[in-house]
Structure 1
């Protein structure tokens, strides 16, 4: 690399200030020093960047093109320096994280003691909403959302995806029997969501084209955690994501059913946030932490 960043800074300062004298004052250098740096840059590039007249300085065509690149390089260097500086500082301040209650209970809350041990100066505020929240209105820094994200101005980081399964408790199956077909399933007590309606379409292969079954629930609830508790109590059958039920299945509290007819449907999970220089450090460390802990 022939050119130094100091020479690029001189060129930008001269153009932005309108004169070598003003640039020297801005940079805290001598006029002769700035003039020599500009001349040295032109010699290295073997081209004139600035036309000097008694009244003003004017960029040549080559100077115009080079100035744009010089600004981009300076901006990139400053951004890199700021990133390193942030890395040396311990993230601190309030961080408000929102998630649907099942994800908060099963995937966030269990890891927050470890997070606070790593970042004791971050003051966490955890909130739960079953519906999509407006980050600015609710003063939320990070929202963890389950399902396909709509187009928006928010930044997003994918955390993975979670498979959907039909589940019932051993007690329910002992009392009512296990359904072996879609038609038999219709005769059972089904647990569904109050809203949104699409959550009451279960990923079962129905016919050759359609790969979902619209259910008529016997009882509905707004929270996936409430559905989980209903299933655990033996009330009926529900369609729930692995992230909140994997331990129940492993320990025998819940039993997957109709696996042979189940389509491989997964719910994407992502963290969304606004880009903010003030928040960048604590947002980034939380995202890195939760992505490493939550294995979806």
Structure 2
């Protein structure tokens, strides 16, 4: 049977206090309880640590050697507990965050100077992957995922949701004209994703019956709503003229006037505001929002720095 830290504490306190009675008072325990703990420790070690007389206690040679090790163990435990407490108050250590390139560029990177000013002892590592990564395999602490969540073993913090719009640059529209129906849209140069395939289904409905689809597509609060067969049928499956793996590449192609793309507001809101991109087919567009969640595994050692990042980014990213 292994020695417990409570037994080590009793042993050290008895020696430091000079008696079992004094140790019991200091520890807030009964004299008999302290005596039993000391005896139990000696039985586990199969050796006498102290010699008891009516007046005082004397360490044996083995007890003297064991005392130094017991103190070191208790000191290390106390230091570890203080370190965790300090970490909660002032988080430190490495924090690796992964997100798709567009979200990293538009919603994370611009705020990292402010984050580092608040938490200078956190060492940030930012990675970008266009596909879902395995957090444990890639040693990622927080991954920001766009779309419905699949892995139920992860903890998730909803950051909001972002609307999808069909857009083109003023230069492209001036040269090729603005499509007003799905039939005319199909004759244009369309920019799509290499994968996954569902990203090439645009939220456009036949017959001009666009607009809002109901309350469930409002701002995400952690719940995700699956698409029905009717939802999928209503969406337009496009045949891209060019494809790319990153939404940021699609954005750059659209900005350059290459063609028409369907992109999320979180990466194009400033472009629309500054009229670098123009939303089109508004009367046919279904109001669809992609949920955005930060996912992570629960870990006591990471809790402080994960929580401070989540609180920070949730306050900064307005979706």
Q: RMSD over aligned Cα, in angstroms?
A: 2.3
Q: In the TM superposition, what are the counterparts of 1:214-253 in structure 2 within 5 Å?
A: 214-253=237-276
> Separation in 2 of the partners of 1:88 and 1:149?
29
TM-score by length of 2: 0.67
Compared with structure 1, are the counterparts of its residues 153 and 123 closer, same or farther at alpha carbon in structure 2 (3 Å cutoff)? same
Q: Match of 1:180?
A: 180
Q: Match of 1:282?
A: 305
Cα drift, residue 33 of structure 1:
8.9
> Separation in 2 of the partners of 1:181 and 1:29?
82
Whether the 8 Å contact between 1:98 and 1:129 is mirrored in structure 2 is yes
Q: Which secondary structure state, in structure 2, belongs to the residue aligned with residue 135 of structure 1?
A: coil
Farther off after superposition, 199-208 or 253-262 = 199-208
Cα drift, residue 126 of structure 1:
0.2
> Separation in 2 of the partners of 1:104 and 1:145?
11
Structure 1 unaligned regions, length at least 5: 1-23, 35-80
Q: Match of 1:50?
A: none
Q: In the TM superposition, what are the counterparts of 1:1-296 in structure 2 within 5 Å?
A: 29-31=29-31, 85=85, 89-206=89-206, 210-296=233-319
Cα drift, residue 130 of structure 1:
0.2
Instruction: Give the total of aligned pairs.
Output: 226
Compared with structure 1, are the counterparts of its residues 86 and 206 closer, same or farther at alpha carbon in structure 2 (3 Å cutoff)? farther
Q: Match of 1:10?
A: none
Whether the 8 Å contact between 1:98 and 1:128 is mirrored in structure 2 is yes
Q: Match of 1:12?
A: none
Residues 199-223 of structure 1: CA distance to partner in whole angstroms, max 9, x if unpaired? 0000001257532000000000000
> Separation in 1 of the partners of 2:89 and 2:199?
44
Cα drift, residue 195 of structure 1:
0.1
> Separation in 2 of the partners of 1:86 and 1:278?
12
> Separation in 2 of the partners of 1:273 and 1:224?
23
Structure 2 unaligned regions, length at least 5: 1-23, 35-80, 210-229
Cα drift, residue 30 of structure 1:
1.5
Whether the 8 Å contact between 1:86 and 1:281 is mirrored in structure 2 is no
> Separation in 2 of the partners of 1:88 and 1:120?
14
Higher relative contact order (CA 8 A, sep 6+): 2
Compared with structure 1, are the counterparts of its residues 91 and 238 closer, same or farther at alpha carbon in structure 2 (3 Å cutoff)? same
Q: Which secondary structure state, in structure 1, belongs to the residue aligned with residue 140 of structure 2?
A: coil
Cα drift, residue 226 of structure 1:
0.2
> Separation in 2 of the partners of 1:217 and 1:144?
27
Farther off after superposition, 101-110 or 149-158 = 149-158
Farther off after superposition, 165-174 or 147-156 = 147-156
> Separation in 1 of the partners of 2:152 and 2:130?
19
Cα drift, residue 29 of structure 1:
1.3
The runs of 4+ residues in structure 1 deviating greater than 6 Å are: none
Whether the 8 Å contact between 1:102 and 1:223 is mirrored in structure 2 is yes
> Separation in 2 of the partners of 1:182 and 1:292?
39
TM-score by length of 1: 0.72
Whether the 8 Å contact between 1:169 and 1:232 is mirrored in structure 2 is yes
